[in-house]
């Protein structure tokens, strides 16, 4: 969807720009660019600027002549730049979406199994007090939920939602949601009576519960509940000692004590008791059973039958209940059953039909989600008989990672086909395509220096850089090819065509950089994604412009010579 939105926006803008350039711009030129009798007599900044541009064009022609006369040296330099691009790109960490300040944080907490709701409420009060006292300048309101969180329901769990003030009222890096989360987690780590996690909401609503990664650990070979828990604990133990991971936790309710009722089925059969009667009596007395409805003062109310509280409070109370047999006799539960305490899951979880547990976590500060996910995959691979299935944003990240190369190839192939149709040649487009690494190297270096990873927004910036780099090359190749077709010698056509387009290339590139600069320095809501695109595109445009005006003439020269040589040999 992000790729689709980007493509629709960019294509719409390009279509509008083309329409304006072909219709309105000529009319404006005819109106604004009128000749003046005293044009040559003008003095000032513009005269000085034009003089310097003319001087630079003369020097530029000399530089091009030197580059074309030494093609091996500069092609070696081009291949070195391409190799550097490949090396740096392969070293970049991967991700899916940058973590944004969404104006809210989420707190998830749990106390030991068996803790009363009143004790859990005390932890909730501590959390509320911390935010209202320590983050009062950033906090708008905090909402507390007891008895439920993302892991499930129970009297020992709870969650809170803290709404932060508007971004304009939280200026400064110390007042961002990320900084608030870091301080809060450091504070709550001192609470020994509960496990408290302060989290950021998921980057995309509906894809996960919070930021970071999430996956399901599956019992692929039906090893049993105990083996699944052992594998889960081993993975969590390894993750807790890894400096590249943070807040790796089980997203589920811990096993708790349960009262197990064992029915001696042969003895029950001998006493004339049916299994259905035993189950019905037990569920009705201890769990309640719906009977019917009745109308009370004009309102419909339901009737449930259930044992009185004093007869279903203790394990031994089970023996006081009787079951009616097939002969009509009443038989006490104690005569054919026994009870014992055991531990078991509060909720059985299955994913893709397999018994599973969900584990969540995040990459440590300075690490990427892709690196963190690879580490978790390695931990799971050590557990024989168990498999891993990503979910939420992590699943989308894995899904998108395999599409990147195809996106780049599709973009390059589309450019090649359009240029082949434009020039009616299969060779000339290569002189344009060879410029692509020269723009991408700037985008990759700029993103790496800024600490960004290879995620969706970086890929959008790379695709934009590919198109813009090709645009600059087309401006040079188009004029050089036109001059050569008019009868000018190849080298003269290249040098004259490139020098004529030097000023338009530099001016349009500067205008574009000025246009994306606000993205690179933006703040507030959605700033992370805007800055990533802005910085990467700015770096790509700078390197693409500076290097393309030097290398594109060389590429066109070499491609033209190779094409002419091939045609000469083919026609023999």
Q: How far is CA 156 from the centre of its chain?
A: 32
Report the alpha-carbon distance of residue 332 to residue 509 in Å, rounded.
Answer: 90
Polymer length of the chain: 572
Three-state DSSP class for 49?
A: helix
Helix 369-381 with 225-240: angle, nearest 10 deg? 140
* CATH classification (class only), 256-343: alpha beta
Q: Find out whether 160 and 150 touch, Cβ atoms under 8 Å.
A: no
Ranges of residues in the chain whose predicted pLDDT is under 50: none
Report the alpha-carbon distance of residue 74 to residue 466 in Å, rounded.
Answer: 21
Contacts of 452 (CB under 8 A, 6+ apart): 98, 458, 532, 535, 536
Burial of 467 (0-12, 13-18, 19+ CB in 10 A): middle
Name the architecture of domain 102-199.
Answer: 2-Layer Sandwich (3.30)
Q: What is the pLDDT of residue 314?
A: 87
For residue 168, the surrounding DSSP H or E stretch is none
CA atoms within 13 A on the CB side of 535: 20
Helix 45-69 with 71-91: angle, nearest 10 deg? 100
Task: Give the count of beta carbons closer than 10 Å to the beta carbon of residue 350.
Answer: 11
pTM for the model stands at: 0.74
CA atoms within 13 A on the CB side of 201: 14
Report the alpha-carbon distance of residue 185 to residue 297 in Å, rounded.
Answer: 53
Quick one: which of 475, 557, 458, 558 has its CA closest to 509? 475
Q: What is the pLDDT of residue 40?
A: 53
For the record, the structure tokens of 104 come out as 């809210």
Contacts of 197 (CB under 8 A, 6+ apart): 107, 108, 109, 185, 188, 247, 249
Three-state DSSP class for 79?
A: helix
Residue spans per domain, the chain: 51-91+425-565, 102-199, 256-343
Q: Find out whether 238 and 294 touch, Cβ atoms under 8 Å.
A: no
Task: Give the count of beta carbons closer than 10 Å to the beta carbon of residue 323.
Answer: 24
- Which neighbouring-strand residues pair with 305? 289
The H-assigned helical ranges of 110-240 are 117-134, 177-188, 225-240
* CATH classification (class only), 51-91+425-565: mainly alpha
pLDDT in tens, 232-291: 999 999 998 888 888 888 888 887 888 888 899 899 888 888 888 899 988 998 888 999
Report the alpha-carbon distance of residue 249 to residue 265 in Å, rounded.
Answer: 41
pLDDT in tens, 19-74: 888 888 888 887 777 665 555 555 667 677 777 777 788 888 889 889 988 889 99
Q: Find out whether 484 and 559 touch, Cβ atoms under 8 Å.
A: no
For the record, the structure tokens of 558 come out as 């070499």
Three-state DSSP class for 373?
A: helix
- Which neighbouring-strand residues pair with 107? 160, 198
Q: Find out whether 557 and 490 touch, Cβ atoms under 8 Å.
A: yes
For the record, the structure tokens of 449 come out as 């220096």
- What backbone phi and psi angles, to 5 degrees, belong to 133? -100, -45
Q: Find out whether 447 and 458 touch, Cβ atoms under 8 Å.
A: yes
Q: What is the pLDDT of residue 571?
A: 59
For residue 473, the surrounding DSSP H or E stretch is helix 456-485
């Amino acid at each position: 969807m992000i790729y689709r939105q980007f493509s629709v926006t960019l294509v719409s803008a390009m279509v509008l720009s083309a329409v304006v350039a072909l219709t309105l711009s000529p009319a404006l030129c005819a109106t604004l660019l009128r000749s003046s009798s005293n044009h040559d007599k003008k003095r000032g900044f513009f005269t000085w600027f034009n003089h310097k541009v003319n001087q630079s064009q003369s020097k530029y022609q000399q530089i091009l002549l030197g580059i074309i006369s030494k093609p091996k040296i500069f092609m070696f330099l081009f291949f070195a730049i391409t190799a550097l691009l490949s090396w740096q790109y392969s070293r970049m960490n991967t991700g899916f979406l940058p973590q944004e300040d969404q104006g809210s944080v989420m707190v998830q907490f749990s106390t030991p199994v068996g803790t009363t709701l009143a004790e859990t409420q005390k932890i909730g009060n501590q959390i509320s007090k911390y935010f209202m006292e320590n983050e009062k300048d950033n906090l708008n309101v905090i909402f507390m939920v007891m008895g439920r969180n993302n892991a499930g329901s129970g009297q020992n769990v709870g969650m809170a939602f803290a709404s932060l003030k508007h971004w304009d009222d939280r200026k400064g890096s110390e007042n961002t949601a990320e900084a608030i989360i870091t301080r809060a987690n450091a504070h709550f780590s001192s609470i020994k009576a509960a496990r408290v996690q302060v989290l950021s909401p998921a980057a995309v609503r509906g894809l996960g519960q919070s930021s970071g990664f999430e996956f399901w650990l599956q019992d692929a070979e039906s090893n049993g509940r105990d083996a699944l828990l052992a594998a889960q604990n081993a993975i969590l133990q390894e993750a807790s000692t890894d400096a590249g991971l943070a807040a790796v936790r089980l997203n589920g309710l811990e096993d708790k004590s349960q009262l197990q009722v064992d029915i001696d089925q042969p003895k029950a059969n001998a006493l004339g008791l049916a299994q259905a009667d035993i189950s019905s009596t037990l569920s009705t007395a201890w769990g309640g059973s719906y009977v019917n409805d009745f109308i009370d003062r004009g309102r419909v109310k339901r009737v449930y039958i259930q044992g009185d509280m004093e007869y279903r409070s203790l394990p031994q109370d089970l023996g006081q209940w009787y079951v009616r047999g097939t002969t009509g006799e009443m038989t006490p539960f104690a005569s054919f059953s026994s009870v014992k305490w055991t531990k078991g899951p509060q909720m059985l979880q299955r994913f893709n039909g397999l018994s599973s547990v969900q584990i969540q976590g995040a990459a440590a500060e300075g690490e990427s989600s892709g690196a963190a996910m690879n580490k978790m995959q390695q931990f799971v691979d050590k557990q024989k008989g168990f498999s891993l299935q990503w979910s939420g944003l992590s699943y989308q990240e894995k899904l998108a990672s395999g599409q990147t190369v195809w996106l780049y190839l599709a973009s390059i192939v589309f450019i090649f086909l359009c240029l082949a149709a434009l020039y009616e040649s299969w060779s000339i487009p290569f002189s344009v395509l060879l410029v692509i690494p020269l723009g991408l190297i700037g985008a990759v270096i700029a993103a790496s220096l800024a600490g960004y990873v290879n995620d969706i927004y970086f890929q959008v910036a790379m695709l934009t850089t590919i198109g813009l780099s090709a645009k600059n090359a087309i401006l040079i190749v188009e004029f050089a090819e036109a001059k050569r077709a008019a009868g000018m010698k190849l080298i003269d056509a290249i040098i004259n065509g490139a020098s004529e387009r030097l000023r338009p290339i530099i001016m349009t590139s500067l205008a574009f950089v000025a246009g994306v600069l606000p993205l690179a320095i933006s703040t507030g809501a959605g700033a992370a994604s805007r800055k990533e695109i802005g910085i990467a595109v700015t770096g790509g445009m700078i390197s693409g412009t500076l290097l393309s005006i030097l290398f594109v003439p060389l590429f066109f020269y070499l491609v033209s010579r190779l094409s002419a040589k091939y045609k000469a040999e083919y026609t023999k």
